[in-house]
């Protein structure tokens, strides 16, 4: 249950992170004013002219309305399914199926927005295209430098602290057995940060090469940019894909182990967390 929710809420990979980790008092406001759409491709990386900004605003408003109507009910269904899987003591295969299903939400968002974003990208001048590529490259390099500032042991310790805080949020006070299970799983987790950075640079190189081509037809440009936006795995190494799958299975195994250790009080705490999340999604759907 908990790690399935973690996979629902992976930052910058699945939208529900932005939605459900926001303080409840400001969730509706935040949902209606999120910058997630504009920032994941254009607005944070290039200065747009007045016409382009108007075009982007229309994309954001349309996507937010579509997301509320079409996607939020799917999130609600996933939350209810996850709670049922927990209560019915799901097996690893069931949890992995749900993880795969949940990951599709991010792809749904990309598929919905790809066409209007590509139309916007077609309006970018050569100077804007260069600015966008360089700003993305600078961000990736900053991430690489920040990661390199800590040793592997320090990264592992930080990750353990985040994991413990996360499970405390869902379970309340952890038993020594639960802390041991979480610590052991953390030590067995295979780091993939370097491979993720390689993936980002590979994907950026594809974008840069596309932007520099002068002889492509609009149809060819559209097809290639659609692939860059929507087909992330094409730019991942086999090693990264395999390790992602391995780490996800490890999360599922940890979840099953923790599920067997829950006290009645902890189970009640978990169900309250689920109820709060479902209530939040219901409120946003009804707005």
pLDDT top residue among 32 and 193: 193
The predicted structure's pLDDT at residue 156: 95
Where residue 234 falls among pLDDT bands split at 50, 70, 90?
A: very high
The predicted structure's pLDDT at residue 16: 33
pLDDT digits (tens, 9 = 90+) for 174-213: 999 999 999 999 999 999 999 999 999 999 999 999 999 9
The predicted structure's pLDDT at residue 28: 47
pLDDT digits (tens, 9 = 90+) for 75-92: 888 888 888 887 777 788
Spell out the long-range contacts of 154-163 with Cβ–Cβ below 8 A and sequence spacing 24 or more: 155/191, 155/193, 156/186, 156/187, 156/189, 156/191, 159/186, 159/189, 160/186
Please give the Cα distance from 271 to 242 (Å, whole number).
Answer: 33
The predicted structure's pLDDT at residue 30: 44
| Cβ contacts of 95 within 8 Å, gap of 6 or more | 3, 4, 85, 252, 255, 256
Find the range with the poorest average confidence among 88-92, 138-142, 263-267. Answer: 88-92
The predicted structure's pLDDT at residue 121: 92
| Percent above pLDDT 70 for the chain | 85
The predicted structure's pLDDT at residue 41: 58
The predicted structure's pLDDT at residue 4: 38
Average pLDDT over residues 153-158: 96
| Percent above pLDDT 90 for the chain | 48
DSSP SS3 for 216: coil
At which residue do the structure tokens 């804007």 appear?
Answer: 128
Among 2, 31, 3, CA closest to 15: 31
- Helices assigned H by DSSP within 67-175: 72-87, 92-121, 126-148, 152-171
Highest mean pLDDT among 16-30, 136-150, 250-264 belongs to 136-150
Please spell the DSSP secondary structure of 15-76, one letter per residue.
Answer: THHHHHTS-GGGHHHHHHT--HHHHTTTTTTS---HHHHHHHHHHHHHHHHHIIIIIHHHHH
The predicted structure's pLDDT at residue 13: 25
The predicted structure's pLDDT at residue 83: 81
Average pLDDT over residues 224-243: 94
């Amino acid at each position: 249950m908990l790690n399935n929710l973690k996979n629902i809420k992976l930052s910058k990979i699945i939208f529900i992170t932005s939605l459900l980790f926001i303080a409840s008092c400001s969730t509706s406001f935040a949902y209606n004013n999120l910058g997630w759409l504009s920032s994941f491709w254009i607005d944070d990386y290039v200065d747009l002219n007045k016409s382009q900004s108007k075009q982007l605003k229309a994309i954001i408003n349309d996507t937010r309305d579509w997301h509320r109507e079409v996607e939020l009910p799917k999130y609600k269904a996933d939350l209810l399914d996850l709670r049922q899987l927990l209560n019915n003591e799901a097996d690893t295969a069931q949890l992995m199926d749900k993880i795969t299903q949940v990951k599709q939400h991010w792809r749904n968002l990309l598929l919905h927005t790809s066409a209007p974003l590509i139309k916007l990208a077609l309006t970018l001048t050569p100077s804007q295209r260069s600015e966008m590529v360089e700003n993305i490259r600078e961000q990736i390099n900053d991430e690489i430098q920040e990661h390199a500032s800590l040793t592997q042991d320090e990264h592992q310790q930080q990750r353990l602290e985040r994991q413990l805080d996360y499970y405390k949020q869902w379970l309340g006070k952890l038993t020594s057995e639960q802390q041991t299970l979480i610590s052991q799983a953390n030590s067995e987790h295979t780091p993939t940060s370097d491979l993720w950075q390689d993936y980002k640079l590979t994907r950026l190189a594809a974008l840069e090469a596309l932007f520099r081509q002068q002889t492509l037809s609009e149809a060819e440009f559209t097809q290639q940019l659609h692939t860059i936006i929507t087909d992330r795995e094409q730019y991942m190494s086999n090693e990264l894909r395999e390790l992602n799958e391995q780490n996800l299975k490890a999360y599922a195994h940890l979840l099953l182990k923790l599920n067997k250790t829950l006290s009645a009080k902890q189970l009640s705490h978990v169900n309250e967390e689920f109820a709060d999340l479902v209530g939040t999604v219901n409120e946003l759907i009804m707005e």
